[in-house]
Amino acid sequence: MLRLLLSMLAVFAGQSLQAGPGQHAVASAHPLATAAAQEVLAAGGNAFDAAVAVTAALGVVEPQGSGLGGGGFFLVHRADDGRSVMVDARETAPAAAHPDLYLDADGEVIPGLSLDGPLAAAIPGMPAALGHLAANYGRLSLAKNLEPAIRLAEEGFPVDATFLQMAGFRLHALRDGADAARVFLREGDLPEEGEAIVQPELAATLRRLADRGPAGFYEGEIAQRLVEGVRAAGGIWALEDLANYELVEREPVVLHYCGARVVSASPPSSGGIAIGQMLHILAAGGNRYGDDEVDRVHLLVEAMRRAYRDRALYLGDPDHVDIPVERLLSMEYASGLRADIDPERATPSTELPLDPDAVPGPVPPAIDSESEQTTHFSVMDAEGNRVAATITLNYPFGSAFMPPGTGVLLNNEMDDFATRPGEPNVYGLIGFEANAIRPHRRPLSSMSPTFVETPDRIAVLGTPGGSRIITMVLHGILAIVEGAGASEVVQARRFHHQYLPDRIEYETAALGSRVQLELARRGHALSPQIRPFGNMQVVIWDRQRDRLEAASDPRGNGSAAVFTPVPAR
Ligand code: DON
C-alpha cells in the first residue's frame, strides 16, 4: 500500500520517489549460488546477506573460480544512508615474501612457481569478508547465511561442463596435491559430468567459520592446519600472516560520464582508475566517438592502450605505494592523452613512453584464454541495497593446492604481482616497482565491480576475465549509458587492448570485416579469439519504468532471477 502511494506520488511529482525496486534481483555464475541468495532473501535477509550466501555457495559449487582460500572486492551500497563502499578482501603477500621469490640464481623467473602449489598462494581475505558483511551490513547471522553453502558442501554438487573443462586444464596441478586430487578427481582423472563432488572438510571449515566468525579461520585449528600444510609443501606462510590479515573498507572511485555517475573499484584494483581514464579520454573529445564504427573502435582501443600503460607504471597497493590518482583521473591529463591520439593511425605501444627506470621485459606471451575463471555476482534487494562482487582464486582452481584437513583450495594471487620488473603475468600484464612483491602488500588486480547510476536507472555489473575485465566493464558501462537493457549488456560482443601485447583481441563476431580491414589499414594488429570473453552478471533497476531486470552472460552457465519478497508473517 505504501509502495503504491509512493509511486502515485512519484507520478504526481513527475519523478521516481521509490527508495527501492520492491523486488529482489540476483545474477550469478551458478544456479545453485543464485538459489542460495534466494533462500536467504526469502528468510528475511537483505542484499548483503545474499552476498554472503552467494559468495560461500560459489566457493563450493564453482571451486575453479573462487572460495575461502581466495579474495575479492565487494562494492556495496546501503539504501538507507546512500553510502557506497568497497570492501577490499584482496589477499596479501605473506611476511616472508620478497621481490626475488620466483627467481632463480641468475635472476630468471622459474616457470610455474607463482602459479602452482603453496608458494603461489597469498593470505586469503574471503573469510574476513564474509564475517564483515554479515556483521556490519547483513540482517541475518553469518551462520544463517552460510547454511546453503554448508549443505552444498555436505550433500555435493553435480559436476558440469565448465568444471570439467577447467579441471582438465589444471589436471597436472590438481594431481600434484593429494587433498585437491582426492576431492576433485577420481583416481587422478576427471570425474564424469553429473557426478557429485562432496566436500566434508570444506563443510567442517565453513561450520567453524559459522560458529566462531573469521577467527575460526584465521586462528586456532584451521589456521594451524593451513600453515602446516603450506610449509610442509614448500610454502612460506606463518601463523601471524593469518592472524594479521586485515580487511579494508575503501572509498570507491567515483566518475561522471555523460550524465551518469559511475562507482567502481579503487586500488588495489586498477579497474576504477583505468575505466575513469578511458571514459575521460572519450569525454575529452566531447564524447564524439560513435558516428562511425571504425572511428569508435579505434578511439576506444587507443584509450585502452593508454590506460593500460599507466596501469603498468603507476598502480599497486595504495597502502604501500603513492598512486597519482588525482592526476590520472584529471580531465586535463585525459585531454593530453586524447590530443596525442592520431585519429587515423594506431600508436605503436613501443612509442608510448615507459618510465625511464622501468625495464621493459620480453614480449609477453599470448594470453591463455582457457584461464577464463574467477567469478562475479550482482544483487539488489527490494529496498535498493546492492552488491557487485568480483571474487577469485586467480587461475582456475587457484594454486590447486589444498592444505590437508581443511578442504580449502588456495589462491595463486601472487602471480598478479610483477614477479620481475616488466615480466608479464599469466594474463600478459606487466608491472614495475608499484606492483613489486613486498611483505604484506596486496597484488594489483583488474577486478572491477561497478555501479552505473543514471537519472533513470541503476545498474550493478561486473565480470571475470583477467586483464580483460576492465575493458569488458567499460563496454558494459557505455552500453548502459546508451540505454541498453541487462540482456543486451551481457550479450554484447567484446574487444580488448592492454598496451602489451600490442594487438586488438576480439570475439570473432565483435568486429565486421570492413571494420577489421580499416583497423588493419590504420596500423592495428588484429587477434581474433575463438573462445568468448567473460561471464558478466548484470542487474538493472529502471526507476522511471518501475522495472527490475537481471541477466547472466550466455557465455557461462549462470542464472539470473527477479522475484517478489515473501511478506513477513
Ligand atoms: O585480480 C585479478 O585481476 C585476477 N586475479 C583476476 C583473474 C581472473 O579474472 C581470471 N579469469 N578469467
Whether ligand 1 lies within 6 angstroms of the CB of 464 is answered as yes
Using the predicted structure, report yes or no on whether residue 541 has a pLDDT greater than 90: yes
Q: CA angle, 535 as apex, 529 and 538 as ends, to 5°?
A: 135
Catalytic hit among 55, 92, 205, 374: 374
Q: Mark whether 374 is an active-site residue.
A: yes
Give the pLDDT confidence score for residue 1 in this predicted structure: 41
Whether ligand 1 lies within 6 angstroms of the CB of 467 is answered as no
What is the percent of the chain where pLDDT is above 90? 91
Q: Please give the helix or strand (H or E) that residue 5 lies within, else none.
A: helix 2-13
Whether ligand 1 lies within 6 angstroms of the CB of 537 is answered as no
Q: Which of 114, 266, 392 to mutate to test the pocket of ligand 1 (most atoms within 8 A of CB)?
A: 392
Give Cβ neighbours of residue 451 (< 8 Å, ≥ 6 apart).
75, 77, 84, 262, 263, 264, 386, 388, 458, 459, 460, 461
1-29 pLDDT, tens digit per residue, is 444 444 444 433 444 447 899 999 999 99
Check: CB of residue 467 under 8 Å from CB of residue 367: yes
Q: Which of 435, 469, 555 to mutate to test the pocket of ligand 1 (most atoms within 8 A of CB)?
A: 469
In angstroms, the CA 486 to CA 459 distance is 8
Mean pLDDT of 493-522: 97
**Of the candidates 264, 265, 266, 258, which has an alpha carbon nearest to the alpha carbon of residue 288?**
258
Whether ligand 1 lies within 6 angstroms of the CB of 88 is answered as no
Q: How distant, in Å, are the alpha carbons of 116, 186, 400, 448, 545 from that of 66?
A: 16, 22, 12, 15, 36
Q: Which residue has the cell 576427471?
A: 190
Q: Which of 446, 496, 536 to mutate to test the pocket of ligand 1 (most atoms within 8 A of CB)?
A: 446
Cis amide linkage into residue 501, ω under 30° from 0: yes
Cis amide linkage into residue 31, ω under 30° from 0: no
Look at the alpha carbons of 233, 239, 243, 245 in this order and tell me if their dihedral is positive or negative.
negative
Query: Counting atoms of ligand 1 from 1, which one is nearest the CA of 371?
Result: 12
In angstroms, the CA 277 to CA 291 distance is 21
In angstroms, the CA 148 to CA 377 distance is 16
Mean pLDDT of 51-58: 99
Q: Which residue has the cell 579474495?
A: 71
Q: How far apart are the CA of 396 and the centre of ligand 1, in A? A: 9
Q: Which residue has the cell 574471503?
A: 126
**Least confident piece of the model among 42-56, 222-236, 347-361, 388-402:** 347-361
Sheet of 495-496: strands edge to edge?
Answer: 495-496, 504-507, 526-529
Whether ligand 1 lies within 6 angstroms of the CB of 392 is answered as yes
106-139 pLDDT, tens digit per residue, is 999 999 999 999 999 999 999 999 999 999 999 9
Q: Please give the helix or strand (H or E) that residue 540 lies within, else none.
A: strand 537-542
Q: Cα 160 to the chain's mean position, in Å? A: 22
Q: Which residue has the cell 588525482?
A: 326
254-297 pLDDT, tens digit per residue, is 999 999 999 999 999 999 999 999 999 999 977 666 679 999 99
Give the pLDDT confidence score for residue 291 in this predicted structure: 78
β-pair partners for 263: 254, 451
